[in-house]
Amino acid sequence: MTDHRDTILASVDRNAKTLADLSDEIWGYAESGFEETRSSRALAARLEAEGFSIERGVAGMSTAFTASYGSRSPVVAILGEYDALPGLSQRAGLAEKSELEPGAWGHGCGHNLLGVGSLAAAIAVKDFIAASGTRGTVRYYGCPGEEFGCGKTFMTRAGAFDDVDLALCWHPMDINAVWQVRTLANLSVYFRFTGKASHAAAAPHLGRSALDAVELTNVGANYLREHVIPEARFHYAITNSGGRAPNVVQPFAEVFYYCRAPRLDQAREVYERVCDVARGAALMTGTSLEIAFSQGLSDYVPNQVLGELLQRCMETAGPPRFDDRDRALAASFRSTLTAAELAGAKGQLKATQGDAVLAKIGDDPLDEVIGPLFRGDACLPGSTDVGDVSQVVPTGQLVYACAAIGTQSHSWQNTAQVGSPIGHKGMLAAGRALALAAAEAMLDPGVVEKAKAELAARGAPPYVCPIPDAIGPEDVLGSMRAGSVR
Ligand SMILES: [Zn+2]
C-alpha cells in the first residue's frame, strides 16, 4: 500500500510546472488588498477544476473564498493570501533595481507564492484523501487584504472558521523554519481634525489649526511612551498635513496611528490612551475631532503541538530543491544587500536556528537546511491577521526560503526573487510540508485533540473581534483609499 507521504510528494511533483505558472500569473497581476479579483478567480478556478466545492464572497468580501474537499471531520484549513504592495514593481529574476512599470504594485511580500503554495498543499491533501479514503475535509481559505487590511479578521468574525479543527499557513522568507513566535496585536486609527482657515499673519486669532492638533497629538503620544508597558509600540504617519501654504491656518489635517502590544487587551488600553491624547489636542486647539477606527489584528498564538508536527513534516519534505543556477542567482542578489542587512540575517539565523545551522549554512547564498524547532517565547515585532485565526483555532505556520539569505520582505529584491525559480522551489517545499501535516492530522486524531487542548489551556476569555461591529471590509477599503497609506 502506498504511504500517504508518497501520494503527497508525488502530487506536488506532478503539478510543479502548473503551480509555478500559476504563481507567476498572480505575480503578474500584483493586485491590491480586497481588489485581488483576477488572482482570487485564478486560484478558485484551479481548485474547482480539481474537484473542490467553492464558496465565494465569504464574510462579505468579493475576493474571499473557500474551497472544500472531503467529508466530515477533522476539518483542516490551509490559508492562502494573494495581495501585493505599492511601489514594488520589479522585473522578475533580475538582480538590479528595474521597475516593470514605474510606480506600480509588486509582490514584495511573495503572496503570489503564499497563495499557490497553500493551494499546492490543498490539492495534495485532496489526492491523499481520494487515494486512501481517509475521513476528513481539507479547506483552502482564499484570504484577501493581508498587507493593509485584515481579511482573516473579518472571516473569523463572520464565523468562517467555526467548524475548523486546525489551521495551517506559511510565508515565503529567506530561511526554512517553523514559525513558532508570537506577534503583536495592532489597532489602527485615523484622527481627523477640523479647524478653521484664516490668514496666518493678518488674522491668526480667527483661525483654528488642525495641523497644530496633529502636532500636539504626536507630542502627547511621544510623552505617553514612558508610561505604557515597554513592549507597547505606537507609531504614526501624517496622512494629511493641511496643505502647502504657510500663510493659511490649516483647516483640516489627519494623522494615522498603529497601536501595538503583545496582547489585544494591552493594545486596547494603549489605543484608548492615544485616543485621549488626540481628544486633548482637539480641546487645546479648539478643533473638532473625528476618530475613525481603521483595522484590528489580534496577537498570534503559536501552538506547540502543531509546531512539532510541522517540524517533523518539514524534515520529511526537506529543504527547497535548489540547483547551481538558483545559487548563482541568489549570490547576485546577495551582492545588492548592505553589510547591515547581511549581518542582520546572520543574527536572525543564529537567534532562531542556533549556531549549528549557522555553521552549516556558512556563506551559502540560500538556506538549504531544516534547523531545529525554535522553543523560546519570542515575539516578532510585527502583526498579522493570522493572529485572529490562531485565537479561535489551533494554528501552525512555517516559513520556507524563497529568496537569498538576507533579502528583506517588502523590497524590490524580494519581488524579483519570488517571481523566479528560487521562489517556485521554496513554494513547492512549503506545499509538501503543509500537505504532510494536514494528512498526519487526519490520520492521527490525537493531534487535533492535543492541539485544541493546548489552545484551551491558555484560559483566555472568549474571542472578541478587535474590529467594532459597525466596521466592515468596505470601510477598511474606503479608509485606505481616503488616506495615503497605500
Ligand atoms: Zn506577507
Ligand 1 center–CA 178 separation, angstroms: 16
Rounded Cα distance between 273 and 279, Å, is 10
DSSP lists the bridge partners of residue 183 as 380
pLDDT digits (tens, 9 = 90+) for 327-358: 999 999 999 999 999 999 898 888 888 899 99
pLDDT of residue 1: 47
* Ligand 1 center from residue 247 Cα (angstroms): 43
Cell output for 465: 473581534
* Spacing, Cα 212 to ligand 1 middle (Å): 36
The predicted pLDDT at position 485 comes to 38
Could you tell me the distance, in angstroms and rounded to a whole number, from the CA of residue 450 to the centre of ligand 1? 29
Q: 118 C-alpha to center of ligand 1: Å?
A: 14
**Is residue 422 domain-shared with residue 283, that is, in the same domain?**
no
What distance in angstroms lies between residue 234's CA and the mean position of ligand 1's atoms?
A: 20
Give the 3-state secondary structure of residue 473.
helix
Could you tell me the CATH number of the domain that includes residue 193? 3.30.70.360
Q: For the segment 87-100, what is each residue's pLDDT rounded down to a tens digit?
A: 999 999 999 999 99
Is 480 inside any structural domain?
no
pTM of the model: 0.93
CA of 109 to the centre of ligand 1 (A): 5
On whether both 119 and 173 belong to a single domain, the answer is yes
Residue 466 placed within a domain? no
Query: Ligand 1 centroid to 352 CA: how many Å?
Result: 19
| Domain-embedded: residue 461 | no
Residue 95 CA to ligand 1 centre (angstroms): 21
329 and 435 assigned to the same domain: yes
> Do you know the residue count of the chain?
486
Ligand 1 centroid – CA 410 distance (Å): 8
| Ligand 1 centre distance from Cα of residue 171 (Å) | 7
Indicate whether 346 belongs to any domain. Answer: yes
Tell me the pLDDT tens digit for each residue of 155-191: 999 999 999 999 999 999 999 999 999 999 999 999 9
Using an 8 Å Cβ cutoff, are 221 and 281 in contact? Answer: no
Rounded to the nearest angstrom, the distance between the alpha carbon of 368 and the centre of ligand 1 is 21
Burial 452-485 (b: 16+ CB within 10 A, else e): bebbeeeeeeeeebbbeeebbbebbbebbeebeb
Q: How many domains does the chain have?
A: 2
Strand partners, 399: 171, 177
Distance 36 CA to ligand 1 centre (A): 15
Ligand 1 center to 482 CA (angstroms): 23
Query: What's the DSSP call for residue 31?
Result: P
- 193 shares a domain with 118: no
**Residue 464 falls within a domain, yes or no?**
no
Does 174 lie in the same domain as 27?
yes
Going from the Cα of 448 to the center of ligand 1, the distance in angstroms, rounded, reads 27
Domain that holds residue 29: 4-181+299-456
Position 397 scores a pLDDT of: 97
- Name the strand (E) or helix (H) holding 475: helix 473-482
User: What spacing in Å lies between the alpha carbon of 290 and ligand 1's midpoint?
Assistant: 31
For 326, list phi and psi in degrees, rounded to 5. Answer: -65, -40
Query: What's the 81 CA to ligand 1 centre distance in angstroms?
Result: 8
Distance 104 CA to ligand 1 centre (A): 18
According to the model, what pLDDT value does residue 482 have? 59
Task: Give distance in angstroms: CA of 107 to centre of ligand 1.
Answer: 9
Q: Are 127 and 7 in contact (CB under 8 A)?
A: yes
Q: Which residues of the chain have pLDDT under 70?
A: 1-2, 480-486
Three cell numbers at 462?
Answer: 472568549
Q: What is the pLDDT of residues 109-120, one digit of tens each?
A: 999 999 999 999
Shared domain for 316 and 445, answered yes or no, is yes
**How far is it, in rounded angstroms, from Cα 59 to Cα 55?**
11
**Dist. CA 34 → ligand 1 center (Å):** 15
Could you tell me if 33 and 148 lie in one domain?
A: yes
Distance 50 CA to ligand 1 centre (A): 26
In a domain, 485, yes or no: no
Q: From ligand 1's centre to the CA of 329, what distance in Å?
A: 23
Q: Compute the distance between CA of residue 442 and CA of residue 431 in angstroms, rounded to an integer.
A: 17
**Residue 416 Cα, ligand 1 centroid: separation in angstroms?**
15
Q: What separation in Å is there between the alpha carbon of 66 and the centre of ligand 1? A: 20
Give distance in angstroms: CA of 134 to centre of ligand 1. 33
CA of 369 to the centre of ligand 1 (A): 22
Backbone angles phi, psi at 484, to 5 degrees: -115, 25
Taking Cα atoms as reference points, which of 123, 132, 117 lies closest to residue 81?
A: 117
CA 138 – ligand 1 centroid, Å: 23
Residues 284 and 313 in one domain: no
pLDDT recorded at residue 486? 30
**Ligand 1 center to 147 CA (angstroms):** 7
Q: Are residues 176 and 189 part of one domain? A: no
The three cell numbers of residue 234 are 505606537
Q: Which three cell numbers stand for residue 211?
A: 495641523
Is cis: bond before 74, omega within 30 of 0? yes
pLDDT at 365: 97
What integer pLDDT is reported at residue 477 of this predicted model?
A: 79
Answer whether residue 131 is part of any domain: yes
Claim to verify: residue 445 and residue 353 sit in the same structural domain: yes
Residue 386 Cα to ligand 1 middle (Å): 11
Expressed in angstroms and rounded, the spacing between residue 84 Cα and the centre of ligand 1 is 9
| Residues 369 and 322: beta-carbon distance below 8 Å | no
The pLDDT score that the predictor gives to residue 374 is 84
Give yes or no: residues 406 and 319 share one domain: yes
Distance CA(278)–CA(273), nearest Å, equals 9
The last residue of one of the domains, among 252, 276, 298, is: 298
> How far apart, in whole angstroms, are the C-alpha atoms of residue 270 and residue 315?
41
